[in-house]
Amino acid sequence: MQNGLDAHARPPQSIQDVYKQFQRQRAESSSHFDIDSAENRFQVVDEINVNILNTAFDAFTGDAEEAQLQSNAQVLESKIIPGISLIVVTQPYISS
């Protein structure tokens, strides 16, 4: 045990109280969630290179000759649902 910390010990009561409050707020806010609301906008947070996409697609399908994507894909994230990401391919694939 380093610095007197024990990973298996219960956290102090003050930390437990804060966590309980967080859980209650999260439960209340999720019951009023509307994914179709005007506030649900998506923003581009990243881009995935077309070569990486094609390599992953080939590994998943097992057939490298069947189809290839033509452009990078954008990764979008919802502003009201942090952590939920969408991968958008704007160019369709071409068959070889």
Q: What is the pLDDT of residues 9-60, one digit of tens each?
A: 888 888 888 888 877 776 665 555 555 556 667 888 899 998 898 888 888 8
Q: Is residue 2 part of a domain?
A: no
CA dihedral for 8, 14, 15, 17, sign (positive or negative): positive
pLDDT tens-digit profile of 54-78?
888 888 877 656 677 888 888 888 7
Classify residue 85: in a domain, yes or no: yes
Please spell the DSSP secondary structure of 4-52, one letter per residue: T--TTSPPPHHHHHHHHHHHHHHHHHHTT--TTSTT--EEEEEEE-HHH
The structure's pTM equals 0.49
Mean pLDDT of the chain: 75
Per the structure, how many domains does the chain have? 1
Which residue segment(s) compose the domain that 42 sits in? 37-95
